[in-house]
Structure 1
Amino acid sequence: MTKFERDLYDELVKRKLLPEEILRKVAEECERTNIPFIYYLVDKKYIEEEILLTISAEVGNIPFINLKEITVEESAIKSVPVRFCWHYQFLPVKLENKTLTVAVSNPLSIQAQDEIRLNLGFNISMVLAKRNYIIEMIKTYYGVGAETVDQLISYGGERYVHQQGERTQTIENIERRAEDASVAKLVNQIILDAYKKRATDIHIEPYRQKLRLRYRIDGVLFEQNVHEEVSNFIQAIFSRIKIMANLNIVEHRLPQDGRAIVKTADQILDLRISFLPTPHGQSLVIRILPMRMVFSLEKLGFFPEDLRFIESAIRRPNGIIFVTGPTGSGKTTTLYACLKKINRVEKKIITVEDPVEYELEDITQVQVNPEVGLTFAKGLRSILRHDPDVIMVGEVRDRETAEIAIRVALTGHLVFSTLHTNDAAGGITRLIDIGIEPYLVASSVYAFIAQRLVRIICSQCKEEIDDVGGEISEEISSVVGGGKVVISRGRGCEQCNYTGFYGRTAIYEILVVDKDIRELIVDKATASVIREEAIKKGMRTLRENGWLKVIQEITTPWEVMSVCEDMKFEVVDKEKKVNSDLYYVSPHREEKDRVCHLNQGEKRVFMRVPYKIPVRVALVEKGEGEVIKITKQVLQNIEYEKVDNEEFLQEMVTEEVKDVELNVDVFTTTINLSAGGLVFESQYLFPIDTILELKIYLPADRGSVQCFAKVVRVEKDLPRCFYIATCFLDMSSEHRSKINEFVKKEISKQRFLNLDIHQGD
């Protein structure tokens, strides 16, 4: 033991924090294993690290600091090679007058201080800090695997630039290999670091003269610091990963996909590896899938009443249950949890997936392979000859797959599958859009479950928010029936990496296809009509489900709005004057066309911009009625609030005005604009379904945007002034993004705090 350790031993005996007999055994074990006294006490949980470091600070007369609360000087970091930091377990924090201040968790011996002084040329001053903080900040300031890169450079790194290597074992222990000084060690360190940080994806992207490393954690990408020289080893790194995945290491021109299985101390990881050629080299994404994944319906975020329905539905003998949502919304996880729940020895369960994301015990899983002709449809046909009770189809992408799945369900099998739609009701119109007859949908589908993922507030740093804005509180209060709404957020702490969130849960919308819904489907009702009927019957929408999780302090309002902002809508009474900052419109119920890349009948939100924007309006195609020029003589004595049907139009307008031929091409203004549509002022009355050509002139030199639009609602403001609400029909993604960014910027100047607008897929 060093002098400091003997002094600390005596102080601990004096304070009686541990029996002297235990301390003596610890000291003997440290002498035998050469483990520092402080490390052993902390690792074996004899004494909390903070208490031990506080006592150590008094014994050694060394300041004890919180590394999270100080600023580490860049000059200190640049003055010390990373290999010194790892070897002596310290972090340089300050360099002043040839004195280097280092943070240590175990005071350096006199010999270690002399070695550092001799090699670096600095006098050494020490401060105490938590060991995990030191390790974490070494990685932060020097980069992931920086010590390995440093060693490779020292050992002659040029030999790795074109490294070929040999194929690895099927399952590799990356924690054991992470101790070797090689490119393999560097790769393993990156994978291990990402896994320990709960990352689901690793992104390695080469750019000119640099390499970018990012981890996706809880659905959000976070950039990781890397050693500045690591870009010199990028070819060796990629070759190593290709070897692990049994890919062609000399192919750089074509995309490549592969798979590798590695092992950590507590988990086996299935790595899905994908290379993509770019102008600066290959870009790499690694999906991390733990193979010992526990799938449980109870842990997915269902409320008790919803969970009871799901458990009942998945035990049905036949029918289809669809889970809908965008990519990355947890659909496959929900389906796996359903299969695990019903997996019994008396049931034969077969899945067809692309790809097989997790291996499920005692379930037959088929991997789709279009290159050899194994599609979802072909796989489904073959499955029927294997006597299944339950079938899971990874995704219904086309008419053929949908038809087979429906036929299977109608012949006495329970089928699970997924669809890419915005909400539960949209799943019905999606099936009809791809060519399935409504009566088949009505007779085969039992339920649609729409879902999104939201981040969970970190339990270690949760705090209440005093003011979140009137609109948010009002909307949440209306969902929960009034009363005070308590909303929380994460302040940010070590556990959540100062993001305020730790983990994710799902919000759901469950549409049960009962007798009334079946009748609407057969009658070819729009998604909005079906949705409204389901809500009347008690369906809790995605947004309402999210608000309930907000008041339960599971997530934040902004998380809910980020995944279902476009679903906000309000049923406005016909006699009610709309004065709010949000102006709600929806397509007419009889509308048959799809607009704005969304299913027919879906709600829109137009967000008010604080000043008028010029718009040029040109008539392309008239609706069912004529375009009418509103004159003072005809309308000055007519009182009404809204025009939304042709019968009212006929009563309002004289035959003389109807016969007027108009060549409409006028300039006007809009005060309501979003990436989905706009509302403009007009002295003309454009009936529902009229097709217009719009040219929108964005201010501040942002240029103009041109597209076709359809009239979906008309409102009257003054006797000779109408507000014409339209939905864009053919807006390009570039122009939609331009409008979206403009509106977001303008709204941020107003009272909409942290509000984000999301355009449709």
Structure 2
Amino acid sequence: MIQLFDTNLNPYNTQLKRRFPDKCLRAPKNSPYMVKWLIMHTIDDTRKLAQLLLKDKKIDRDGFALIVYRLSESEKSKTNVKGSGNKSPGHRNGDGKAITFIAEQKVRMSGKKDKIITDEDILKSLSSQFKIPYKKLDPLDLDIDIVTRTIPKPYALKHMILPLYEKGGELFVAIIDPESQDTIDGLAHVTGKKIRPALATPDDIMRIVHEFFGFKTSVINAEKEMHGQEIDLGNLEQLNQIKRPDEIGSNDQHIKNAVEYLFNYAFKLRASDIHIEPKRETSIVRFRIDGSLNDVYTIPKGVYQAIASRIKMLARLNIAEKRRPQDGRIKIEHGDGTAEIRLSTMPTAFGEKLVLRVLKAEFLLRDMESLGFFPEDQIKMEKFLNCPHGIVLVTGPTGSGKTTTLYSALGFLSHPEKNIISIEDPIETICDSFNQVAVQPAIGLTFAASLRTILRQDPDIIMIGEIRDSETAENAIQAALTGHLVLSTLHTNDTTSTITRLLDLGVEPYQINSAVIGIVAQRLVKMICPDCIRTISIEKEKLAVFGVTTDKNSVEIKEGSGCEKCRFTGYFGRTSVYEVLEINSEIRTMIHKNKTSMEIRKYALKSGMTTLRDSAVRKMLNGVTTMAEVLRIGYEL
């Protein structure tokens, strides 16, 4: 016989005794009566939470009845399990099980047939009832040191509490139970700070606890093991002090864990690039998300070299070589599929800077409809691609989405009857539907040399990653003139200046007239977040700058107000804006007469060509992007 509230019986007995002080019973340790009593009282939290959602009109009576029924079924199954006296018998809001249980029932929200209530909806309802703000946790807004040094990981998981940041002598924390005053008081006593709670979902808290504590623990353990083994790279003179590969510790389990945390974190935040930058005392990790760089981690100086070596080893690079730039590739499997990472290293004043480009096939190989073409421009583009021979050029600065357009075009053209070969430096992502050649200048395999060989491989379609010199330009033109469809890129600002660039590379006007069938210029603009999109009014005088005329005093456009999904930026994802120039007979005549690019552009505009800026303005008026993005595009042009 034991006392019901013996702390050895159940981890929640202390809280039960506080809530039910009059229930001091004695019963056999595994007594069905005792187990049933515990269940009947601990499931009160779930039923109470369901009643609150019903009162708040988040669910209707049918949804409430469904939750209560499934709760009773859960109760029956637990009372029938032998030896369950030592296990958590019910669903408590304090550990998130009540919230999770209700969310798992997939109950429809009241008045919204297509909307299932989620843990976020439940927390927002609790927020309004208890006057505690709800916060969607964004890892980029959190300080890893504050999160990991304030409380230990077991305490954070047991009480489902997460320190967020300090401000004005106050500690802001995330909790899931608005009635967890004992936990808040205890934390205030330990830290000596006033606690400001906010509600967050159990999944968010557990995810950040595991990621932050996992990464921090790996880095700390690695730093301890490597203590006294660091190389001081505080100045350029010491860059040639290279450790042997077996001294770096890149095979250490803590380093492996830290790198895996880094990759998983990047995938979760939709990062397109990972920057690891060595500084004088520490190293900084930054992610590029939707075109903007964000600081993520600070790595101790002693651990940076091991992490860099581990990443270089995964990319099959020479980890002992730190004086010369290197390029490599890593293929990673993760929860959402596979991703290819392109690694570039470069020696800087304080060590090697690593940049990892995250590439996913589903982002590069897209349907033509999803790229951002307007219908009339998409018709022109598909007309270019359906030509049996000729050259199609895609232009724009670095990072403007040219590669995505080219890969999507190859996907559009891919067919068993076609022999498609690409020449790339480096290969962006491996695609089984066409043959890919990686340029290797060190052994003489340049774009021009590869192209000469490819012409003997019976190709139908050739993709050249970039036309960089006159020899490549000449060979590309010759390939187009000899019955092949050629796709390639150039770095120019717009479509008509591409003609001038080809002339500068030594291509004759008659060759341009005979080979080039179309030119596409493009830029990337950020898209408005669909979850926080709102309507604003803009005076017609401001729109006149973009060439928009109207009889109204103002025009309604869209912008993002900022929400949890977009990390309060107002943007989520990017799309392309295009300028498509078809080389028709009139333009060929103008090229033959050595007309300037401005004269050609004036004719193209009269013929109905949509400029990059006009395309961006049109997307703004359609509610896809914002005025700020249109201004940015206009500034670049």
TM-score calculated relative to the size of structure 2 = 0.76
Q: Is the aligned partner of 1:40 residue 2:100?
A: yes
1:522 to 583, 592, 598: 592
Q: Distance in 2 between matches of 1:490 and 1:100?
A: 29
Give the direction of change, closer, same or farther, for the CA distance of 1:377–1:84 in structure 2 (3 Å limit).
same
Q: 2:358 aligns with which of 288, 292, 314?
A: 288
The answer to whether structure 1 residue 549 and structure 2 residue 586 are counterparts is no
Partner of 2:523: 452
Residue matched to 2:290: 218
The answer to whether residue 258 in structure 2 is matched with residue 198 in structure 1 is: no
Corresponding residue number in structure 2 for 1:376:
447
Q: CA deviation at 1:351?
A: 0.8
Look up the match of 1:497.
567
Contact 1:320 1:409 in 2 (8 A): yes
- Taking structure 1 as reference, are residues 464 and 137 closer, same or farther at Cα in structure 2, changes over 3 Å only? farther
User: Partners of 2:192 and 2:199 in 1: how far apart?
Assistant: 22
Alignment of 1:679-718 (within 5 A): none
Distance 1:5 1:181 in 2: 41
CA distance, structure 2, for counterparts of residue 43 and residue 158 of structure 1: 47
The more displaced of 396-405 and 85-94 is 85-94
Query: Are positions 1:349 and 2:397 aligned together?
Result: no
How much has 1:129 moved relative to structure 2?
A: 3.1
For the Cα contact (< 8 Å) 1:65–1:129, is it kept in 2?
A: no
Deviation at 1:235, TM superposition (A): 1.4
Q: Which deviates more, 241-250 or 504-513?
A: 241-250
For 1:337, what is the secondary structure of its paired residue?
helix
Which aligned pairs between 1:517-666 and structure 2 lie closer than 5 A?
A: 517-565=587-635, 567=637
Alpha-carbon distance change, 240 to 69 in structure 1, aligned in 2, over 3 angstroms: closer
**Contact conserved, 2:521 with 2:580, CA < 8 A, in 1?**
yes
* Partner-residue secondary structure (3-state), 1:385: coil
Q: State the Cα distance separating 1:465 from its structure 2 match.
A: 2.7
SS at match of 1:247: coil
Hey, what's the Cα distance between the residues in 2 that align with 1:100 and 1:432? 64
Matched, 1:233 2:303: yes
Give runs of aligned pairs for residues 155-170 of structure 1, distance below 5 A.
Answer: 156=225, 158=227
Residue 475 of structure 2: which of 404, 418, 422 is its match? 404
Q: Which range moved further: 556-565 or 43-52? A: 43-52
Q: Is the 8 A contact 2:157 2:206 kept in 1?
A: no
User: Is the CA contact (8 Å cut-off) linking 1:349 and 1:364 kept in structure 2?
Assistant: yes
Q: Distance in 2 between matches of 1:115 and 1:157?
A: 36
Cα distance, 1:201 vs. partner? 0.3
Superposed displacement of residue 18, structure 1: 3.1
Question: Compared with structure 1, are the counterparts of its residues 404 and 183 closer, same or farther at alpha carbon in structure 2 (3 Å cutoff)?
Answer: same
Determine which structure has more spread, i.e. the larger CA radius of gyration.
Answer: 1
Question: Which residue number corresponds to residue 383 of structure 2?
Answer: 312
- Tell whether the 8 Å contact from 2:537 to 2:555 is kept in structure 1 after alignment: no
Deviation at 1:80, TM superposition (A): 1.0
Secondary structure class of the residue paired with 2:272: strand
Q: Would you say the 8 A contact 2:460–2:484 is kept in 1?
A: yes
TM-aligned CA deviation for residue 211 of structure 1: 2.2
**How far off is 1:126 after superposition?**
7.1
Q: Hey, what does 2:33 align to over in structure 1?
A: none
How many residues are paired up? 548
- State the alpha-carbon separation in 2 of the partners of residues 527 and 203 from structure 1: 38
C-alpha separation in 1, matches of 2:495 and 2:268: 35
Retained in 2: the 8 A contact 1:318–1:413?
A: yes
Using a 3 Å threshold, how does the CA distance of structure 1 residues 108 and 124 change in structure 2: closer, same or farther?
A: farther
SS in 2 for 1:446: strand
Q: Which residue of 2 aligns with 1:66?
A: 134
Corresponding residue for residue 43 of structure 2:
6
Whole-angstrom CA distance in 2 between matches of 1:246 and 1:72: 34
TM-superposed CA distance for 1:143, in Å, is 9.3
- Distance of aligned partners of 1:419 and 1:13 in 2 relative to their CA distance in 1, 3 Å threshold: closer
SS in 2 for 1:524: coil
Give the letter aligned to residue 66 of structure 2. L
State whether residues 353 and 366 of structure 1, in contact with CA within 8 Å, keep that contact through their aligned partners in structure 2.
yes
Distance (Å, rounded) in 2 between the aligned partners of 1:156 and 1:116: 32
| Separation of aligned partners in 1, 2:247 and 2:74 | 47
Gaps of 5+ in 2: 1-9, 17-40, 55-63, 79-86, 107-116, 231-242
Return closer, same or farther for 1:551/1:411 CA change in 2, 3 Å cut-off: same
The structure-2 alpha-carbon separation of the partners of 1:160 and 1:301, relative to structure 1 and needing over 3 Å to count, comes to farther
Seen in structure 2, the aligned counterparts of structure 1 residues 547 and 57 have a Cα distance that, compared at 3 Å, is closer
Q: Measured at CA, do residues 11 and 238 of structure 1 come closer, stay the same or move farther in structure 2, by a change above 3 Å?
A: same
CA distance in 2, matches of 1:526, 1:401: 24
Q: Which residue of 2 aligns with 1:600?
A: none
1:23 aligns with 2:71: yes
Query: Partners in 1 of 2:370 and 2:632 — Cα distance?
Result: 22
Q: CA deviation at 1:333?
A: 0.8
Tell me, what secondary structure is at the counterpart of 2:421? strand
- Larger relative CO (CA 8 A, sep 6+): 1 or 2? 2
Greater shift, 316-325 or 288-297, is seen at 288-297
Q: CA deviation at 1:325?
A: 0.8
Structure 1 unaligned spans of 5+:
169-179, 568-761
Query: Are 2:123 and 2:176, in contact at CA under 8 Å, matched by a contact in 1?
Result: yes
SS at match of 1:149: helix
Counterparts of 2:314 and 2:379, CA distance in 1: 44
- Alignment partner of 1:242 is 2:290: no
Partner SS state of residue 520, structure 2: strand
Q: Percent identity?
A: 36
Q: How does 1:107-186 map to 2 (within 5 A)?
A: 128-131=199-202, 134=205, 145-150=215-220, 152=222, 156=225, 158=227, 182-186=254-258
Q: Secondary structure at the match of 2:522?
A: strand
Distance 2:406 2:551 in 1: 33
Q: Distance in 2 between matches of 1:144 and 1:275?
A: 26
Q: How does 1:380-395 map to 2 (within 5 A)?
A: 380-395=451-466
In the alignment, the residues of structure 2 paired with residue 37 and residue 354 of structure 1 have an alpha-carbon distance, to the nearest angstrom, of 51
Deviation at 1:133, TM superposition (A): 5.3
Taking a change above 3 Å as real, the CA distance of residues 458 and 448 of structure 1, as seen in their structure-2 partners, is same
**SS state at 2:416 partner:** coil
Deviation at 1:240, TM superposition (A): 1.4
Q: Contact 2:516–2:583 (CA<8 Å) still a contact in 1?
A: yes
Residue aligned with 1:564, SS: helix
In the alignment, structure 1 residue 256 sits paired with structure 2 residue 293:
no
**462-471 or 298-307, larger mean C-alpha shift:** 462-471
CA distance in 2, matches of 1:539, 1:394: 26
Counterpart code for 1:195:
F
2:58 corresponds to: none
Contact 1:164 1:236 (8 Å CA) reproduced? no
Letter in 2 for 1:198: R
Task: Work out whether residues 137 and 204 of structure 2, in 8 Å CA contact, stay in contact via their aligned partners in 1.
Answer: no
Paired residue type of 2:301: S
**2:6 maps to which residue?**
none
Letter in 1 for 2:46: Y
Residue aligned with 1:242, SS: helix
Q: How far off is 1:187 after superposition? A: 1.2
Q: CA RMSD in A?
A: 4.1
The Cα offsets for residues 88-122 of structure 1, whole Å up to 9 and x where unpaired, read as 442236999x9988532258999999998999799
Aligned-pair CA distance for 1:82: 5.8
Q: Does 2:335 correspond to 1:335?
A: no
SS in structure 1 at match of 2:569: coil
Contact 1:423 1:450 in 2 (8 A): yes
Moved more, 158-167 or 488-497: 158-167
Letter in 1 for 2:283: L
CA distance in 2, matches of 1:239, 1:561: 42
TM-superposed deviation, 1:134: 4.1
State the Cα distance separating 1:344 from its structure 2 match: 1.0
Match of residue 654 from structure 1:
none
CA distance in structure 1 between the partners assigned to 2:484 and 2:401 by the alignment: 24
